[in-house]
Amino acid sequence: MPFASISRRLLPLLLVLLAAGCASVDRHRLIAETIAPATPAQLSALHRIFIATSRERTPAPGVIFSGERAQQTAFAFVDISVPAIHQAGREERSPSPRVADPARYFAARRLGIYGGEKGFRDALARDIAARGGRALVFVHGFNTGFDDAVYRITQIVHDSGYLGAPVLFTWASAARTVDYIYDNNSATAARDALEETLRLVASAGARRIDIVAHSMGSWVTMEALRQLAIAGDRDLGGRLADVVLASPDIDVDVFKTQMRRYGVPEQNFFILTSRDDRALDVSRLIAGNRPRLGGAIDAQELAGYGVTVIDATELSSPSGLNHSKFAENPLLVRLLGEGLAASRNGPTPSEQEISRRIERLTRGIGQTIGSAAELIVTTPFEALNIAVGQ
């Protein structure tokens, strides 16, 4: 697509994003001033989220961690309740961050800061052991406040039905749409901290470590995996399982160099793409019209690097940006929980296995997908068109 054409099409969106960049800082409050009562029947679940972050602490009431970069990784946990009225793919957020209403919205119920790495590892080890040795590390993307990251991983874990210990790695995003370059540099600065966090999760006893990274979080994830490969431990001693890059905001050529250093994955490696991703269109514009990995790409060429590409262009998303389909579309978020992998570190799943899993899911939730659509799945061995929806 010509550069001028992209500019004309995205100018209204850029103006909206610039206006959003001036929003009040108070919207990033995680801990409310007051919390309304709720009965057990009004709550669906309570999730404990373990947190490792390269963000700096902030004295701002209820915000906890800011968008500033810290010199040392900090560790915490937060308990988030999900209301019984929750709908899959949604984040029911209170219109007033100062007041929590657990009966209607996601609500932070308790937060604790660990004094150091040992306390965090010990608590995480107990949770991992209680959950069968599994852990999910989620890495958020651009323009994401601490509160946004916490609520997103909670929604993903809840809607996907993931049974392992949830670990949020949150890097120092400024949570402002006008700070794309700052965020990119913050993500790069956090690659060592993410590598250390992955090693920490492994040392806490995880036998299977799944990674889900979104948008710019895919960049820091690929950098951390590249560093692990250079260090001779690219699969964390056999513990690394599924890697999912959702709407990855990475230059395609850069990703290819990262994969050449990493090598053909032994674990299952998935890239979720969408050709109507407007946020990545903006990123492409900022990057000099260079294609982004999560946008319009050559799936068969990428599959040659040993990855599976899932094109979800035709699937719907409530967001006009179409940048978070992996979490907002009921089918995709359930696929995260089901896992497309046949085993912990097994080979890329066959056509029959992929079709069987997707068909099982669509029978149960097909009515929520909307009009008939299809997933285009390109594996290192074959390309599949799988019908979903009504």
Residue 28 has pLDDT above 50, yes or no: yes
pLDDT (mean) for 233-243: 95
pLDDT grade for 165, boundaries at 50, 70 and 90: very high
pLDDT grade for 372, boundaries at 50, 70 and 90: low
Dihedral angle sign, alpha carbons of residues 264, 270, 271, 274: positive
Amino acid at 24: S
Residue 133 has pLDDT above 70, yes or no: yes
Which three-class secondary structure state does DSSP give residue 371? coil
Q: Does domain 3-388 have CATH number 3.40.50.1820?
A: yes
In eight-state DSSP terms, residue 366 is G
Residue 369 has pLDDT above 70, yes or no: no
Residue 215 has pLDDT above 90, yes or no: yes
Residue 17 to residue 178: CA distance in whole angstroms: 8
Lowest mean pLDDT across 222-226, 317-321, 336-340: 336-340
Residue 61 to residue 57: CA distance in whole angstroms: 11
Residue 275 to residue 312: CA distance in whole angstroms: 8
- The answer to whether residues 136 and 210 touch, using CB atoms and an 8 Å cutoff, is yes
pLDDT score at 154 = 98
Residue 205 to residue 197: CA distance in whole angstroms: 13
| Cα–Cα nearest to 271, from 315, 234, 324, 218 | 218
**Token duo for residue 125:** 């080890």
Question: Exposed/middle/buried for 196, CB within 10 Å: 0-12, 13-18, 19+?
Answer: middle
**Token duo for residue 118:** 């040992």
pLDDT score at 331 = 74
Residue 249 has pLDDT above 70, yes or no: yes
Residue 303 to residue 314: CA distance in whole angstroms: 20
**Which range among 241-250, 293-302, 311-320, 347-356 has the greatest average pLDDT?**
241-250
Residue 325 to residue 312: CA distance in whole angstroms: 8
pLDDT grade for 384, boundaries at 50, 70 and 90: low
Residue 355 to residue 353: CA distance in whole angstroms: 6
Residue 146 has pLDDT above 70, yes or no: yes
pLDDT score at 73 = 98
Between 2 and 229, whose confidence is greater?
229
pLDDT score at 350 = 55
- The answer to whether residues 29 and 111 touch, using CB atoms and an 8 Å cutoff, is no
**Share above pLDDT 90 across residues of the chain, in percent, rounded to a whole number:** 71
**Which range among 17-31, 99-113, 366-380 has the greatest average pLDDT?**
99-113
pLDDT score at 5 = 47
pLDDT grade for 6, boundaries at 50, 70 and 90: very low
Lowest mean pLDDT across 17-26, 160-169, 199-208: 17-26
pLDDT score at 155 = 96
Residue 246 to residue 221: CA distance in whole angstroms: 11
Residue 248 has pLDDT above 60, yes or no: yes
> What residue spans define the domains of the chain?
3-388
**Which range among 22-31, 332-341, 357-366 has the greatest average pLDDT?**
22-31
Between 78 and 373, whose confidence is greater?
78
Residue 236 has pLDDT above 90, yes or no: yes
Between 48 and 287, whose confidence is greater?
48
pLDDT score at 140 = 98
| Cα–Cα nearest to 309, from 247, 363, 267 | 247
| Cα–Cα nearest to 48, from 136, 127, 125 | 127
Residue 1 has pLDDT above 50, yes or no: no
Residue 49 to residue 154: CA distance in whole angstroms: 7
The secondary structure of the chain in percent helix, strand, coil, rounded to multiples of 5, reads: 40, 25, 40
Between 9 and 253, whose confidence is greater?
253
Helix 191-203 and helix 180-189, axial crossing angle in degrees, nearest 10: 40
Lowest mean pLDDT across 85-99, 125-139, 239-253, 316-330: 316-330
Lowest mean pLDDT across 96-100, 182-186, 371-375: 371-375
Amino acid at 381: F
